[in-house]
């Protein structure tokens, strides 16, 4: 993604967040001041305002995608990450790629093929007889634009090898783009690196 497109995406997200913050403030009624003991002066009600009340805008109407579609994106990000972080030293690169390909955009395929065929990683896994299984523990939408959604996916990974078992927690930033009525994974990077 070009830096110009990345800046435009971030600007759109910031404008949307600012709109939500400012829009929400004007919809709240103003509280009445607390009564002063012994004061019998009539006070205006809490909802009285010199301006007519603004029409309440449903939050979902401010989002670029309906909530159920965003839920589907988060679910796919979780499925992709669980498959990405699960592998075996006995597994061929093609077998590891098989569940990932239907979830991935065509533009991600070269990076997936490169990751699957990394000879150094494959040799290390074979030497230690490593097998990994991942379970998604948390999903959160990190960035949302009219053309994409980035979901932070946290996965618990258990790696067994000839020397024992280790556990770790890994966080990924998974960016998805709309594809018809569904989604495709466009990018996956460590959450700390962001998506650029």
Pairing status of strand 164-179 against strand 182-190: antiparallel
Provide the Cα torsion 87, 181, 62, 149; round to 10°. Answer: 20
Q: Domains in the chain, ordered, with CATH?
A: 3-62 (no CATH), 67-190 (3.10.450.230)
The rounded distance, in Å, linking the Cα atoms of 191 and 160 is 24
The conformational region for residue 100 under phi > 0 = left, psi -120 to 50 = alpha, else beta, is: alpha
Give burial (CB, 10 Å; 0-12/13-18/19+) of 12: middle
**Separation of alpha carbons 33 and 46, rounded Å:** 8
Contacts of residue 189, defined as CB under 8 A and 6 or more positions apart, other chains included, come to: 172, 173, 195, 196
Helices (H) then strands (E): counts for the chain: 5, 5
**pLDDT at 54 (0 to 100):** 60
pLDDT computed for residue 26 by the predictor: 31
- Distance, in Å, from the CA atom of 137 to the CA atom of 87, rounded to the nearest integer, reads 18
pLDDT attached to residue 62: 74
Q: In terms of Cα–Cα distance, which of 142, 149, 147, 138 is closest to 72?
A: 149
Q: pLDDT in tens for each of the 196 residues of the chain?
A: 444 444 444 444 444 443 333 333 333 334 445 555 555 555 555 555 555 556 666 666 777 788 899 999 999 999 999 999 999 999 999 999 999 999 999 999 999 999 999 999 999 999 999 999 999 999 999 999 999 999 999 999 999 999 999 999 999 999 999 999 999 999 999 998 855 4
Q: What is the reported pLDDT for 196?
A: 47
Measured in degrees and rounded to the nearest 5, phi and psi for residue 135 equal -130, 130
Q: Which two tokens stand for residue 53?
A: 């009340």
Q: Dump pLDDT digits (tens) for 22-61.
A: 333 333 334 445 555 555 555 555 555 555 556 666 666 7
């Amino acid at each position: 993604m070009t830096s110009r497109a990345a800046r435009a995406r971030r600007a759109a997200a910031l404008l949307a967040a600012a709109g939500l913050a400012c829009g929400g403030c004007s919809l709240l009624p103003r509280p009445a001041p607390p009564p002063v003991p012994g004061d019998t002066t009539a006070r205006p009600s809490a909802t009285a305002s010199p301006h007519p009340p603004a029409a309440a805008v449903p939050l979902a109407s401010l989002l670029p995608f309906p909530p159920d579609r965003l839920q589907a994106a988060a679910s796919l990000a979780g499925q992709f990450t669980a498959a990405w972080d699960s592998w075996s030293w006995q597994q061929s690169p093609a077998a590891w790629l098989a569940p990932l390909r239907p979830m991935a955009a065509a533009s991600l395929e070269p990076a997936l093929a490169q990751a699957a065929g990394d000879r150094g990683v494959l040799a290390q896994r074979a030497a230690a007889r490593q097998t990994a299984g991942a379970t998604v523990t948390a999903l959160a939408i990190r960035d949302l634009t009219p053309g994409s959604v980035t979901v932070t996916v946290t996965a618990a990974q258990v790696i067994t090898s000839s020397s024992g078992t280790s556990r770790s927690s890994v966080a990924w930033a998974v960016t998805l783009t709309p594809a018809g009525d569904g989604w495709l994974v466009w990018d996956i990077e460590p959450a700390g690196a962001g998506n650029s």
